[in-house]
């Protein structure tokens, strides 16, 4: 095998192996989110499978080309079929999330990494004219270069311009091409390669109709809601993010109507600046001309999708495509209200948007006396450790905040937290029988 051909094959291996990992992490977001407890084990298991592949490849002693060609063919099938949107959704449909995750990792991602990991140690056997260190170093160079370009081009170019389906299909077709390059396939093998390519195309071209971006899966579906006229749901990562119906005036999701009531009726906002972190379906400002809204969402495509498929009219307000925490840190504007409604899946808030530092950053974006409203999804009794700790974290940045559970009898509910950016009060004290200052404090209170 010529060095140019060998390094081309190794490049394809690196490009597709890391590309598969990037796609896998993206496919998991709608089902189990993107927190560190998801990404870290996924990356770790991928690297473990890759290491086992290196070890297995080092033990191959014959039929080098045939083994690599077979591995590429199976990997193309795993990538083109297993990483297609429909396949991943089928794994998680009706299956407990933890078990579905293990099936996805154990049956698709890790076998793919194991097979491709064998490529470099096997093909270095065909570089006998070079020193072993030189052969391994050059092969690893091209493999790592492929990994770098795969991670960058698939995430920043292909997924952004075309969608996740295009990244999956590109990787599968590159592996099919790699299998053909390693060893000229006989007619039966050529037919098999063509079949895998056709299957990959069929499994992924159908996803073109899905509004899938590098950040999220979107869909608009009719739903049944009591008291609403022909309601439709805006689904983000397989979860209902917003609702709207055909009534006049339209009705929205219960928590959105609650937020609108706080802003427009309880606080009487008129001609105010309102910052909304997490765009959802842009319903907070829908047909609301009294105030000025600025939406911040990490996905630059969400506004066009919401306007075209969900609102079916232009969204009101300014839109900024960036990370919510980055925006509140860098903005010099100050707002009368900040609404925090950031989710990567139904109940998963990105980890960097729950810390005390983030809540302090939102306070810095407020005008003196401004209000912060947060929509949280917590257990209805606020008894779990996540609910108690998250609410305590917000209080640590703002002081005592109001907490409203919208569905008190439900195991999981929208919880609206209302905080004001006022001056810090005096230290709290507990009333006890021996030194009860409640009457004095009550008399001093407004």
Domain ranges of the chain: 3-212, 260-420
Q: What is the mean pLDDT of residues 285-310?
A: 94
**pLDDT for the residue numbered 160:** 86
Query: 427 pLDDT band (50/70/90 cuts)?
Result: confident
8 A C-beta contact, residue 391 and residue 417: yes
**pLDDT for the residue numbered 343:** 77
Q: What is the mean pLDDT of residues 205-212?
A: 76
Q: What is the mean pLDDT of residues 263-277?
A: 96
- Determine the Cα–Cα distance for residues 241 and 279; give it in Å rounded to an integer: 9
> Which has more pLDDT, 258 or 347?
258
- Determine the Cα–Cα distance for residues 258 and 407; give it in Å rounded to an integer: 12
- Determine the Cα–Cα distance for residues 362 and 4; give it in Å rounded to an integer: 54
- Determine the Cα–Cα distance for residues 254 and 229; give it in Å rounded to an integer: 14
Query: 173 pLDDT band (50/70/90 cuts)?
Result: very high
8 A C-beta contact, residue 355 and residue 393: yes
DSSP 406-424: S-TTSSEEEEEEEEE----
**pLDDT for the residue numbered 344:** 60
Close Cβ partners of 230 (under 8 Å, ≥ 6 residues apart): 222, 245, 246
pLDDT at 106 over 70: yes
Residues in the chain, overall count: 446
Query: 291 pLDDT band (50/70/90 cuts)?
Result: very high
Class of the CATH-defined domain 260-420: alpha beta
Q: What is the mean pLDDT of residues 424-445?
A: 74
**pLDDT digits over 115-132, tens only?**
999 999 999 888 765 667
8 A C-beta contact, residue 420 and residue 369: yes
Find tokens 């009860």 and name the residue.
436
Q: What is the mean pLDDT of residues 100-129?
A: 91
Q: Is 256 helix (H, G, I), strand (E, B) or coil?
A: helix
Q: Is 41 helix (H, G, I), strand (E, B) or coil?
A: helix
- Determine the Cα–Cα distance for residues 106 and 89; give it in Å rounded to an integer: 16
276 backbone dihedrals φ, ψ, rounded to 5°: -115, 115
- Determine the Cα–Cα distance for residues 306 and 32; give it in Å rounded to an integer: 23
> Which has more pLDDT, 307 or 161?
307
Half-sphere exposure of 349 (CA within 13 A, CB side): 21
- Determine the Cα–Cα distance for residues 61 and 204; give it in Å rounded to an integer: 37
**pLDDT for the residue numbered 34:** 79
Query: Which of 46-55, 132-141, 228-237 is most confident?
Result: 46-55
**pLDDT for the residue numbered 81:** 94
220 backbone dihedrals φ, ψ, rounded to 5°: -120, 125
pTM for this structure? 0.81
pLDDT at 446 over 70: no
- Determine the Cα–Cα distance for residues 32 and 44; give it in Å rounded to an integer: 17
pLDDT at 156 over 70: yes
**pLDDT digits over 1-21, tens only?**
788 899 999 999 999 999 999
The separation between CA 72 and the C-alpha centre of its own chain, rounded to angstroms, equals: 29
User: 39-48, 154-163, 418-427: which has the minimum mean pLDDT?
Assistant: 418-427
DSSP 150-190: HHHHIIIIIHHHT-HHHHHHHHHHHHHHHHHHHSPPPHHHH
- Determine the Cα–Cα distance for residues 423 and 365; give it in Å rounded to an integer: 15
Examine residue 249 and say whether the peptide bond preceding it is cis (omega within 30 degrees of 0). Answer: yes
8 A C-beta contact, residue 267 and residue 308: no
8 A C-beta contact, residue 362 and residue 340: yes
> Which has more pLDDT, 120 or 35?
120
**pLDDT for the residue numbered 266:** 95
Residue 91's CB is within 10 A of a number of other CB atoms, namely 19
Query: Which of 124-133, 275-284, 435-444 is most confident?
Result: 275-284
Neighbouring-strand partners of residue 402? 418
> Are β-strands 273-277 and 239-244 bridged in parallel, bridged antiparallel, or unpaired?
unpaired
**pLDDT for the residue numbered 21:** 96
Strand order in the sheet with 412-420: 318-321, 292-297, 273-277, 335-340, 366-379, 412-420, 402-405
The separation between CA 97 and the C-alpha centre of its own chain, rounded to angstroms, equals: 16
End-to-end CA distance of the chain: 86
- Determine the Cα–Cα distance for residues 17 and 112; give it in Å rounded to an integer: 8
Q: What is the mean pLDDT of residues 164-187?
A: 93
> Are β-strands 402-405 and 239-244 bridged in parallel, bridged antiparallel, or unpaired?
unpaired
**pLDDT for the residue numbered 425:** 65
pLDDT at 443 over 80: no
- Determine the Cα–Cα distance for residues 260 and 290; give it in Å rounded to an integer: 11
**pLDDT for the residue numbered 271:** 96
Pick the CATH number of 3-212 from 2.60.120, 3.40.1000, 1.20.1250, 1.10.3470: 1.20.1250
Burial of 284 (0-12, 13-18, 19+ CB in 10 A): buried
Q: What is the mean pLDDT of residues 92-98?
A: 86
Share of the chain above pLDDT 90, in %: 68
**pLDDT digits over 300-357, tens only?**
999 999 999 999 999 999 999 999 999 999 999 999 999 999 876 555 788 888 999 9
Token readout for 382 is 């606020």
């Amino acid at each position: 095998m010529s060095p140019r051909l060998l390094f081309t094959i190794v490049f394809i291996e690196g490009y597709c192996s890391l590309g598969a990992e990037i796609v896998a992490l993206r496919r998991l977001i709608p089902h189990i989110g993107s927190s560190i407890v998801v990404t870290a084990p996924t990356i770790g298991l991928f690297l473990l499978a890759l290491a086992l592949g290196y070890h297995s490849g080092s033990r191959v002693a014959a039929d080098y080309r045939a083994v690599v060609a077979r591995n590429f063919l199976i990997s193309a099938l795993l990538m083109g079929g297993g990483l297609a949107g429909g396949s991943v959704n089928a794994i998680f449909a009706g299956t407990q999330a933890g078990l579905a995750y293990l099936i996805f990792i154990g049956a698709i991602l890790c076998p793919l990494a194991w097979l491709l990991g064998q490529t470099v140690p096997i093909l270095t056997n065909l570089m006998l004219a070079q020193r072993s260190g030189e052969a391994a170093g050059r092969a690893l160079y091209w493999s790592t270069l492929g990994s770098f370009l795969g991670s960058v081009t698939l995430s920043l170019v292909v997924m952004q311009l075309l969608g996740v389906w295009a990244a999956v299909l590109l990787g599968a077709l590159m592996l099919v091409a790699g299998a053909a390059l390693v060893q000229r396939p006989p007619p039966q093998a050529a037919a098999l390669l063509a079949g895998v390519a056709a299957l990959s195309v069929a499994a992924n071209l159908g996803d073109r109709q899905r509004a899938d971006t590098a950040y999220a899966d979107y869909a608009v579906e009719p739903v049944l809601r009591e008291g609403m006229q022909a309601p439709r749901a805006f689904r983000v990562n397989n979860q209902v993010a917003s609702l709207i119906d055909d009534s006049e005036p339209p009705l929205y999701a219960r928590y959105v109507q609650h937020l609108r009531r706080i802003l427009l009726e309880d606080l009487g906002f008129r001609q105010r600046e309102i910052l909304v972190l997490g765009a959802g379906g842009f319903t907070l400002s829908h047909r609301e001309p009294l105030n000025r809204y600025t939406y911040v969402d990490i996905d630059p495509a969400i506004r066009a999708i919401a306007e075209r498929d969900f609102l079916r009219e232009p969204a009101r307000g300014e839109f900024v495509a960036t990370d919510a925490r980055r925006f509140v840190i860098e903005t010099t504007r100050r707002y009368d209200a900040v609404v925090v409604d950031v989710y990567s899946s139904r109940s998963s808030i990105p980890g960097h948007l729950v810390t005390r530092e983030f809540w302090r950053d939102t306070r810095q974006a407020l005008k003196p006396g401004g209000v912060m409203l947060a929509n949280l999804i917590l257990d209805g009794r606020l008894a779990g450790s996540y609910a108690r700790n998250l609410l305590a974290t917000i209080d640590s940045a703002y002081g005592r905040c109001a907490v409203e559970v919208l569905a008190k009898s439900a195991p999981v509910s929208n919880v609206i937290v209302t905080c004001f950016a006022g001056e810090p009060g005096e230290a709290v004290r507990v009333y006890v029988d021996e030194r009860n200052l409640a009457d004095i404090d009550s008399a001093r209170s407004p």
